[in-house]
Amino acid sequence: MTTRQFGQPVQRREDPRLLTGGGRYLDDLGHTAYEAAFVRSPHAHARIVDIDTDDAIDVDGVIAIYTHEDLPGIIGEPLPLLIPHPALTQARTGYALAKDEVNHVGEAVVMVVATNRYVAEDAVERIRVSYERLPAVVGIEAARDGSQTVHDEYDDNVSAHLLQEVGDVEAALAAAPHTLTLDLEIERSACQPLEGKGVLAQWNSDDESLRIYSSTQTSTGVRAAVAAKLGLPLAKVECIAPDVGGGFGVKIMHPWPEEVLVPWAARNLDHDVKWTEDRREHFISSSHERGQLQQVTVGFDDEGRLLALDVKFWHDNGAYTPYGIIVPIITATQLLGPYKPGTYRVEFWSLFTNTVLVTPYRGAGRPQGCFAMERTMDAIARYLEIDRAEVRARNFILPEEMPYDHGLMFQDGRPLKYDSGDFPASLAKLKELVGWDDFADYRAAAEAEGRKVGLGIGCYVEGTGVGPYEGGHIHVETDGRVNVATGLTTQGQGHQTALAQIVADELGVPFENVHVTTGDTRRMAYAVGTFASRAAVMSGNAVALAARVVKAKALRIAADALEVSPDDLEIENGVISVKGAPGNSIDIGTVAVMSNPLRYAFDEAAKKATQFAGTFDPDKPPVGDDEEPGLEGQDFYSPTQATFANGMHAAIVETDPQTAEITILRYCVIHDCGNMINPLIVEGQIHGGVAQGVGGALYERMVYDDSGQLLNASFMDFLMPYASEVPHVEADHLETPSPLNPLGIKGAGEAGTIPVSAVIASAIEDAEGFPITAMPISPSELWTLRRAHA
Amino acid sequence: MKPGPFRYLAPTTLEEAVRALGEHPDAKVLAGGQSLIPVLSMRLARPTHLVDLAGIAGLGEVEVSDEWVRVGALVTHARLLADEDGYAALPLLRQALRNVAHPAIRNRGTTVGSIAHADAAGEMPSILAITDGVVEAFGPQGRREIPASEFFAGALETTLAHDEVIEAVRFGRFPGGTTTAFLESARRKGDYAMAGVAVALTVDESGQITSARASFVSVTDVPGVLDLTGALAGRIPTDVDWSVIDDAVQDHIEPEADIHVSAEYRAHLAGELARRAFAQAAATHPGGNS
């Protein structure tokens, strides 16, 4: 019996190649391409008065210089609003190159194409843009105040205002025995993948076709967007995501200005053109996230049970809203976590500021929501002097209450309805893992040494695997090689391993024979993209369904050949045999030969499929009425709703009594993503997620000054944690399968990130004895808080 | 983030290097490049020429004498960190170098380069100061020696002439009976410190303090030496309550705020680190606890 691959900690097959420098990232491609660089706005808010390119055009090696005036027709129109929403009443998107006005530092104003990037940057330096500066709106308070506006055509800075209510919150608050109000704040951060964005466009003037390579999370999205902007038939555009060095959300936003401009310039110039984003460009022109002010009013009973939860928050969406209001919608809905709120009212204002736009970053609004909810849980526990884990347990949705419908609309426009999860079991595992009930002793021992420690906890639920769909295409070659294609993209998740595990099992072929291609529109033209912890759920199930299609076909053909019923056959290790008679068999490669009748023999395998080769029924056509040639097939997976993963984290943190330095001593995770395809990959996702969460909790922020300059636009001053700052993560799993999909899986990609700020705030608060209401927190800030609370 | 055009010069002698610098007023000296190259890439500096010292023989040695540890201009932090003779002669070198950035940077960055760069957030300038080190400069007129106390002129400023290069620096060895410590606190391991301190504590044969000195990282414009001997002479190190140095430390430092820390916190941190460093140095004396 072949070992089932699903559930095995199979080593990632892509790692040897990636770790030994074999990766082919965007900048590794297109060595003969012209290269682009951009003049970007030095001001947060200004009118463009004049652009003088005279000195630049003479720089040796400059090929072309473009401003907004040069962009014809639709290319010069605003970039698309990707996700409209009825509440987004004052939407604005930017232009590929700024038209008349700039709204954040870093906005592209002029594009230079040159023989290489050095020359392009030399030319950029010589371009003089005259600006008339306008007042900049920086920070949520300034945006909310609204005395200055980002966009002239609107009277305030509110792009969207949305209120959802379940039950009568006013009445429940009035009747509640206890109420508390918390004012909370979460800073900005950003994805910061190690590889920034990048585009290579190759125009073929002979057949008027375009090939785009983009460091993107959605090649189908970029393809469609560029075809629309350039007025090209979809059939003449292909888009490929090569190896992509991380995404974390910033690359699901599309099309970026450069994704439109570089292909357009390539066609214009009839020459390959490439742009590779540098780190400073990434900081000032690629999306940020987080950034909210929140106010929570909660009513609860003597046992700490929620009666009413009333949440208002103000979300900084930056200068433009191309990705709609997905982030605040997720905050508003996922804030509830594993709890029943009694009654719930959530109201948010999404606000324009003269800063880089805000689109989803791993966690996508959930870390903010989790922070609000979990700070509230701790506040209730503190107020009632009840154990913090116990307060949470008293408010859990119970397993027998699944599926649980919150009565709200989720980010996919569908009901917020939890499908699975066992929160009491997860909490019990977490308490055991971290030693929750023994922490008093742990603290006493530390105090005896003059040390200060605290224990923190945070719980979350994550809607994963949102639709609309993904597909899988599987093609078996005559030598038994199995080619699997799915259209969503890979940024290091291990899809080549995980999806191959699924197909190997479903089809009954050796894992080694299965080869997975992602993010290539030549191989699978129908796809959505990699985001929202959806790849395993969506493409995992899609390739499983496709494998079942191909398996059925293989059995049909083999049954004919072996003169048995398909029901009597099984496939194992690539060999189809009659159950109970293993000698009576045919290998899947031979079935592939038989599936494709040939006129011409070009190799030994093909010879077996030619018209004079062997036995065939002269009364039947070579390809049957309902058949197609080739052992291949495809299928799509499209769920009715998201599937909800969950997790609970706990941390023990030490704060230095004198220096206020903060050290995470232990970090424990209980994670439930349903059936795990590959526990090794799931744990890797958790480790990476926690690392980014630690960044958000203790290190990372976007330091804008009042004029809208980003003061820390480099890895020297934007403190992404090093390995030395990331704690060892102790992870354990609970597997409550999702009933919603054939494989019973739920997403895992964002899980590690979501609760970390809440957990660390909880632990610091426990160590220090005063409330922590704003994250991230630095030693300097903690020391200042200590003095305020002394 | 690509440098603007520059000419690359690769002299093979100090004389040639100095001549090139004299000919090109906007030339810059390149050794490990760990500060210069990022500055070039961000186009924050536009030198017309880079004068690379890598091809000049004789600059890669660490030499130990009774009085000095002499470090050539091309000695990397990593090379000096690993040098057993240097460590035995002057343990403070390794105590400090462990805190210089990360291995990848230490593998290319040179100790002399970081001193020439004179960043007050660099560790090695403060080590040159506390060891009463000497800079060996080579210029058109030949060699001259500049004591550390006369070398650092301000933030990122030195008294080295444009047409001089540093051939080597000499870190002074401490007298017998000296223990040292180096402590710093950075937001992330290997970052420029929020504050750091090097201390040297010398006792006589009876165990009484004869010298107590400190120099700081990131809290002064210029790495100077705080001499606390007057207040501590004659005391037994392990008996000292190190908070006695607080006022002197606070008077000595001039901490400023940046985007990571307030000036007040930085001052507090420098004071705390100074106490801890002296306590550590005291504890490692033969009469101490460890």
Whether A237 and A117 map to the same domain: the answer is yes
For B32, the domain range is 7-55
The predicted-structure confidence for B66-115, as pLDDT tens digits, reads as follows 999 999 999 999 999 999 999 999 999 999 999 999 999 999 999 999 99
**Least CB–CB distance from A699: residue in B188, B264, B272:** B188
> Residue A399 — φ and ψ, nearest 5°?
-55, -35
Q: Cβ separation of B260 and A778 shorter than 8 Å?
A: yes
3-state secondary structure of B141: coil
**pLDDT value at residue A616:** 66
Please report the ipTM that was assigned to this predicted complex: 0.95
Is the pLDDT reported for residue A331 higher than 80? yes
* A192 assigned to some structural domain: no
More confident residue, A456 or B154: A456
> Residue B41 — φ and ψ, nearest 5°?
-65, -35
How many domains does chain B fold into? 3
Is the pLDDT reported for residue A219 higher than 50? yes
* B288 assigned to some structural domain: no
Whether B94 and B23 map to the same domain: the answer is no
Tokens of B25: 């007023």
Q: Cβ separation of B265 and A783 shorter than 8 Å?
A: yes
Q: Cβ separation of B187 and A719 shorter than 8 Å?
A: yes
B279 contact residues in A (CB cutoff 8 A) = none
**pLDDT value at residue A600:** 83
* A140 assigned to some structural domain: no
Whether B28 and B66 map to the same domain: the answer is no
Separation between Cα atoms, residue A680 and residue B178, nearest integer Å:
52
Closest CA to A752 of A676, A694, A701: A694
* B153 assigned to some structural domain: yes
Closest CA to B237 of B178, B175, B174, B172: B178
pLDDT band at A491 (very low <50, low <70, confident <90, very high): very high
Q: Cβ separation of B188 and A279 shorter than 8 Å?
A: no
Whether A472 and A528 map to the same domain: the answer is yes
Separation between Cα atoms, residue A547 and residue A553, nearest integer Å:
10
Q: In terms of CA atoms, which chain B residue is nearest residue A659?
A: B269
**Least CB–CB distance from A279: residue in B1, B2, B5:** B1
Separation between Cα atoms, residue A273 and residue A37, nearest integer Å:
11
Closest CA to A70 of A95, A44, A41, A35: A95
**C-alpha distance from A278 to closest chain B C-alpha (Å):** 6
- Respond yes or no on whether the N-terminal peptide bond of residue A255 is cis (omega within 30° of 0): yes
**Least CB–CB distance from A780: residue in B2, B189, B265:** B265
Separation between Cα atoms, residue A676 and residue A124, nearest integer Å:
50
Give the DSSP H or E segment for A102: strand A101-102
Q: Which of A594, A613, A637 is the last residue of a domain?
A: A637
Report residue A756 CA to chain centroid gap.
17
**Least CB–CB distance from B261: residue in A122, A125, A780:** A780
Separation between Cα atoms, residue A106 and residue A468, nearest integer Å:
33
Whether A277 and A293 map to the same domain: the answer is no
Question: Across chain A, which distance is largest between two alpha carbons, in Å?
Answer: 96
Closest CA to A519 of A244, A226, A251, A219: A219
* A87 assigned to some structural domain: yes
What is the CATH classification number for the domain harbouring A117? 3.90.1170.50
* A7 assigned to some structural domain: no
Separation between Cα atoms, residue A261 and residue A282, nearest integer Å:
17
What is the CATH classification number for the domain harbouring B21? 3.30.43.10
Specify whether the CB–CB gap between A674 and A735 falls below 8 A: yes
**C-alpha distance from B196 to closest chain A C-alpha (Å):** 13
Separation between Cα atoms, residue A330 and residue A45, nearest integer Å:
29
Separation between Cα atoms, residue A479 and residue A593, nearest integer Å:
9
Whether A509 and A590 map to the same domain: the answer is yes
Specify whether the CB–CB gap between A522 and A453 falls below 8 A: no
* B184 assigned to some structural domain: yes
**Least CB–CB distance from B259: residue in A121, A717, A783:** A717
pLDDT band at A696 (very low <50, low <70, confident <90, very high): very high
B197, B268, B273: best to mutate for the A interface, most A CBs within 10 A: B268
Is the pLDDT reported for residue A608 higher than 80? no
Residue spans of beta strands (DSSP E) within A380-468: 404-409, 415-418, 452-464
CA angle, residues A639, A643, A646, in degrees to nearest 5: 170
HEC per residue, B60-75: CCEEECCCEEEEECCC
* A148 assigned to some structural domain: no
Whether A240 and A109 map to the same domain: the answer is yes
The predicted-structure confidence for A372-408, as pLDDT tens digits, reads as follows 999 999 999 999 999 999 999 999 999 999 999 999 9
Dihedral angle, C-alpha B237, B243, B248, B251, nearest 10 °:
150
Tokens of A146: 């609204």
Q: Which of B120, B142, B172 is the last residue of a domain?
A: B172
**C-alpha distance from A725 to closest chain B C-alpha (Å):** 7
**C-alpha distance from A381 to closest chain B C-alpha (Å):** 32
Q: Which of A637, A658, A690 is the last residue of a domain?
A: A637
Separation between Cα atoms, residue B210 and residue B202, nearest integer Å:
6
Give the DSSP H or E segment for A393: helix A388-395
* B106 assigned to some structural domain: yes
The predicted-structure confidence for A510-560, as pLDDT tens digits, reads as follows 999 999 999 999 999 999 999 999 999 999 999 999 999 999 999 999 998
Identify residues of B whose CB sits under 8 angstroms from chain A CBs: 1-5, 42-43, 102, 185, 187-191, 194, 259-262, 264-266, 268-269, 272-273
Q: Cβ separation of B188 and A122 shorter than 8 Å?
A: no
3-state secondary structure of A399: helix
Whether A528 and A423 map to the same domain: the answer is no
Closest CA to A237 of A213, A261, A272: A213
* B228 assigned to some structural domain: yes
Residue with tokens 């690509």: B2
Q: In terms of CA atoms, which chain B residue is nearest residue A122?
A: B4
Separation between Cα atoms, residue A445 and residue A613, nearest integer Å:
82
Q: In terms of CA atoms, which chain A residue is nearest residue B41?
A: A118
How many domains does chain A fold into? 3
Cα distances (angstroms) measured from residue B30 to each of A676, B37, B75: 53, 9, 13
Determine how β-strand A643-655 pairs with β-strand A452-464: antiparallel
Whether A607 and A540 map to the same domain: the answer is yes
B102 contact residues in A (CB cutoff 8 A) = 722
Closest CA to B230 of B213, B216, B215, B247: B213
- Residues above pLDDT 70, as percent of chain B: 98
Q: Cβ separation of B185 and A280 shorter than 8 Å?
A: no
Q: Which of A592, A617, A637 is the last residue of a domain?
A: A637
What is the CATH classification number for the domain harbouring B71? 3.30.465.10
**pLDDT value at residue A614:** 61
For A618, the domain range is 467-637
What is the average pLDDT across A655-682? 97
Q: In terms of CA atoms, which chain A residue is nearest residue B259?
A: A703
CB-count burial class (<10 Å; 0-12, 13-18, 19+) for A393: middle
Separation between Cα atoms, residue A279 and residue B236, nearest integer Å:
53
* B289 assigned to some structural domain: no
Q: In terms of CA atoms, which chain B residue is nearest residue A785?
A: B265
The predicted-structure confidence for B246-257, as pLDDT tens digits, reads as follows 999 999 999 999
Mean pLDDT of chain A: 96
Specify whether the CB–CB gap between A218 and A489 falls below 8 A: yes
Whether A255 and A369 map to the same domain: the answer is no
Q: In terms of CA atoms, which chain A residue is nearest residue B2?
A: A118
**C-alpha distance from A721 to closest chain B C-alpha (Å):** 7
**pLDDT value at residue B287:** 56
**pLDDT value at residue A1:** 47
Q: Cβ separation of A780 and B260 shorter than 8 Å?
A: yes
The predicted-structure confidence for A156-206, as pLDDT tens digits, reads as follows 999 999 999 999 999 999 999 999 999 999 999 999 999 999 999 999 999
| pLDDT-wise least confident of A112-116, A581-585, B157-161 | A581-585
Separation between Cα atoms, residue B190 and residue B34, nearest integer Å:
14
Identify residues of A whose CB sits under 8 angstroms from chain B CBs: 117-118, 121-122, 125, 278-280, 658-661, 699, 703, 711-712, 714, 716-717, 719, 721-722, 724-725, 778-780, 783-784
Whether B79 and B113 map to the same domain: the answer is yes
Q: If you compute the radius of gyration of chain A from its CA atoms, what whole number of angstroms results?
A: 28
* B1 assigned to some structural domain: no
What is the average pLDDT across A651-660? 98
B99, B187, B262: best to mutate for the A interface, most A CBs within 10 A: B187
Determine if residue A185 is left, alpha or beta; phi over 0 gives left, psi from -120 to 50 gives alpha, anything else beta.
beta
Whether A98 and A112 map to the same domain: the answer is yes
Whether A706 and A590 map to the same domain: the answer is no
What is the CATH classification number for the domain harbouring B202? 3.30.390.50
A717 contact residues in B (CB cutoff 8 A) = 259-260
Q: Concatenated DSSP letters for B26-37?
A: TEEEESS-TTHH
CB-count burial class (<10 Å; 0-12, 13-18, 19+) for A591: buried
A700 contact residues in B (CB cutoff 8 A) = none
A722 contact residues in B (CB cutoff 8 A) = 102, 188-190
B262, B269, B272: best to mutate for the A interface, most A CBs within 10 A: B269
- The residues near A686 (Cβ < 8 Å, ≥ 6 apart) are A669, A671, A729, A731, A748, A751, A752
What is the average pLDDT across A336-362? 97
Q: How many CB atoms lie within 10 A of CB B19?
A: 16
What is the average pLDDT across A229-237? 97
Is the pLDDT reported for residue A52 higher than 80? yes
**pLDDT value at residue B264:** 97
What is the CATH classification number for the domain harbouring A775? 3.30.365.10
3-state secondary structure of A373: helix
Residues in chain A, how many? 790
Is the pLDDT reported for residue B289 higher than 70? no
Separation between Cα atoms, residue A92 and residue A723, nearest integer Å:
39
**C-alpha distance from A122 to closest chain B C-alpha (Å):** 6
Specify whether the CB–CB gap between A669 and A732 falls below 8 A: yes
Whether B159 and B116 map to the same domain: the answer is yes
What is the average pLDDT across A424-431? 98
* B290 assigned to some structural domain: no
HEC per residue, B162-220: CCCEEEEEEEECCCCCEEEEEEEEECCCCCCEEEEEEEEEEECCCCCEEEEEEEEECCC
Whether B40 and B84 map to the same domain: the answer is no
Separation between Cα atoms, residue B100 and residue B219, nearest integer Å:
16
- Respond yes or no on whether the N-terminal peptide bond of residue A776 is cis (omega within 30° of 0): yes
**Least CB–CB distance from B259: residue in A659, A712, A783:** A712
**pLDDT value at residue A2:** 62
Chain A and chain B share a number of CB contacts under 8 A equal to: 68
Closest CA to A541 of A505, A484, A502: A502
Q: Which of B131, B146, B172 is the last residue of a domain?
A: B172
Whether B33 and B95 map to the same domain: the answer is no
Scanning A194-256, the segments in alpha helix (DSSP H) are 219-230
Q: Cβ separation of A780 and B194 shorter than 8 Å?
A: yes
A721 contact residues in B (CB cutoff 8 A) = 188
**pLDDT value at residue B290:** 42
Question: Across chain B, which distance is largest between two alpha carbons, in Å?
Answer: 63
Separation between Cα atoms, residue A317 and residue A139, nearest integer Å:
10
A659, A664, A700, A714: best to mutate for the B interface, most B CBs within 10 A: A659
Whether A709 and A741 map to the same domain: the answer is yes
A778 contact residues in B (CB cutoff 8 A) = 187, 260-261
